Amino acid sequence: MTNSLWGRLDDVAGDAGYDDHPPRMGFFTDTSVCIGCKACEVACKEWNQVPDDGYLLTGMSYDNTGALGASTWRHVAFVEKSLDVSTVDLGLPAMGPPEGQGQATESGDNGIRWLMSSDVCKHCTHAACLDVCPTGALFRTEFGTVVVQPDVCNGCGYCVPACPYGVIDQRKEDGRVFKCTLCYDRLKDGETPACAQACPTESIQYGEVSELRQRAANRVHELHEKGVDVARLYGADPDDGVGGDGAFFLLLDEPEVYGLPPDPVVTTRDLGSMWRHVGAAAATLVGIGVASFVGRRR
């Protein structure tokens, strides 16, 4: 199966060569109802037999895993923000987790708001990791998701800098890369991915991407009607730099606050023109070399 750089949002599997395939499946993560319980992290590790990564508390945050990595395929971020005037204007109290406005707690005279978000591989429409993988270890499934085959990965690491979200990571032991598979084995059996199955608040929702996008738009409208004007979608726009994501989010602040790039782009978008320029340069050098050789013979 080959990756189509400019595939269609809902038919990435068809563009990858699957003639008869199910609908594109993915995640919609509603951070407004995330309580930071990390049940999704635990479920992911247990089902996929992902090794633990220490579970060390640094004393600086409740976020003990820190970031996505080869041994953390789901990462619940705890983003701490001071409550300011604009937050008060939105009706966010100093204590309690009101629906759609994140978790809040009090800290001295100034409150601290916790923005919690369960991050994961975005399963991009235009997946640069597929473009650069030389062994076919990364492939597009019939569900439109992107999966790594560890037994095929040679540890070259080309996919690591190719990912615009910094999701893919190598294990130090052998250099092979790992990331979320959207529980491909469970999908083939008609089951829900482990993280979504374990989420007690339905912050992580699994389903057909087209239906999830509509559900997400309705949720944003609902929050706006309640006065939560900061609510916005991230990764759901098919016109963004990666053609939209198979895993997208409802955020309560700017993407940078959650450690997400504000304007992600497929890193291989200029690959074709780059090779054309390389070819032209190589042809020019060959021509100069031949002319020089002929000139010396004369």
> Which amino acid is residue 158, in one-letter code?
Y
Question: Span 177-192, mean pLDDT?
Answer: 97
Q: Parallel, antiparallel, or unpaired for β 103-107 and 25-30?
A: unpaired
**Residue 216 forms beta bridges with which residues?**
none
The better pLDDT of the pair 279, 12 is held by 12
Half-sphere exposure of 16 (CA within 13 A, CB side): 26
Whole-angstrom distance, CA of residue 237 vs CA of residue 243: 7
Q: What is the DSSP string of 241-280?
A: BTS-BSEEEEESS-GGGGT--SS-B-TTTTHHHHHHHHHH
Helix (H, G, I), strand (E, B) or coil at 187: helix
Q: What is the pLDDT of residues 73-100, one digit of tens each?
A: 999 999 887 765 444 444 443 333 444 4
pLDDT, average across residues 115-139: 95
The pLDDT, as a whole number, for residue 112 is 75
Supply the mean pLDDT for the chain.
Answer: 83
Answer whether 111's CB lies under 8 Å from 104's CB.
yes
Sequence-distant (≥ 6) Cβ neighbours of residue 191 within 8 angstroms: 183, 197
pLDDT of residue 176: 96
Numbers of helices and strands, H then E, in the chain: 9, 11
List helix spans (H) across the chain: 12-15, 39-48, 85-89, 128-132, 159-162, 184-188, 194-198, 209-225, 271-297
In the chain, the percentage of residues whose pLDDT exceeds 90 is 64
Judged against a pLDDT cut of 80, whether residue 232 lies above it is answered with yes
Is the Cβ–Cβ distance between 140 and 127 less than 8 Å?
yes
Reported as a pLDDT band with limits 50, 70 and 90, residue 160 is very high
Weakest-pLDDT range from 51-55, 153-157, 162-166, 285-289: 285-289
For residue 224, is pLDDT > 60? yes
Cα 140 to Cα 65, 132, 137, 260: the distances in Å are 28, 13, 10, 23
- Binning pLDDT at 50, 70 and 90, where does residue 43 land? very high
Residue 62 has what pLDDT? 72
